[in-house]
Structure 1
């Protein structure tokens, strides 16, 4: 197939998406033995999720696949080279209608990986922190992470769909594929 045969420009009424990646790196704390996940507390000046904890990630560039984007984002945001990431879930996010009457959305690919490297560089995006998995409920996480993160870290491969509610918040729905994730 060539570019013109992809059907991406046929109708402005179709649901078009921006691809993004979200990565959760885990590590064992050498002092406590606790399993921890590396989270980024959004800078107070961030437009999105200021002062809330999220995984690493961002947009997929047109020149890369989603795996390459995940590896690049971990490097850019933490200075960590990851050797292996596993895709654990795919989430479709309906962002509602824009000012032009289009319905753009986001297609988010959720990855996990393990690392023994616990030193990272400062991030302009916010403050990186290793958080004990058992203590996640005590942190101001980005809203969807309370449901998404346990699925990514422990469950089988999942699919998610976020839909806008009248008040502007999102409703989160998840479905398991029944396939157990491959080891990281």
Structure 2
């Protein structure tokens, strides 16, 4: 188990023992939080879906450093600071690895977004999210996210990566474990 994982603090024992991969997800917000920059995934896992920016956390970096790096790689924006908003666990049928995703926002960034090999960025009004072109879990936790709440969620997907068969989502006071 990766020592940066928070699973030992918030997951049931049966899931703690499964292999975990750490990921980040970061959403640039246009102050005063009326718009969010999403990226249309052009290849790989989640292709043709809108999402925040993110990916795997490298062994030598902290989780927040991973979020900052991924934002730059996928949009060319450079976050000066990030705010951790949630932790999501994803379990996919017939996949032994749990995805542990740390969710961030940023309102302090510099540069201009650019399309990259992986993502095509686009601004959306926070009330006009393209949920029909996003992961099915996004519309469940998005209301907490945009209201500035902290949250922990668990989502069990069928192998089709579309159908959610079980979910747990809770607002939390702190993400310090």
- Scaled by the length of structure 2, the TM-score of the pair is 0.77
Query: 1:97: how far off?
Result: 3.6
Structure 1 partner of 2:63: 66
Distance 1:69 1:138, change over 3 A: closer
| SS of 1:136 mapped into structure 2 | coil
Q: Deviation string for 1:127-170 (max 9, x for gaps)?
A: 10011112115762222211222222214211000113487633
Where in structure 2 are the equivalents of 1:38-49 lying within 5 Å? 38-43=37-42, 46-49=43-46
Query: 1:64: how far off?
Result: 0.9
Equivalent position to 2:19, from 10, 16, 28: 16
Question: Which of the two has higher C-alpha Rg?
Answer: 1
Q: Which runs of 5+ in 2 are unaligned?
A: 4-15
Distance 1:153 1:118, change over 3 A: farther
Structure 1 partner of 2:34: 35
| SS of 1:58 mapped into structure 2 | coil
- Scaled by the length of structure 1, the TM-score of the pair is 0.75
Distance 1:96 1:122, change over 3 A: same
Q: Which runs of 5+ in 1 are unaligned?
A: 4-12
**Paired positions, count:** 159
Equivalent position to 1:85, from 71, 82, 85: 82
Deviating runs (4+, > 6 A) in structure 1? Answer: none
Contact 1:112 1:153 in 2 (8 A): no
Root mean square deviation of aligned Cα: 2.7
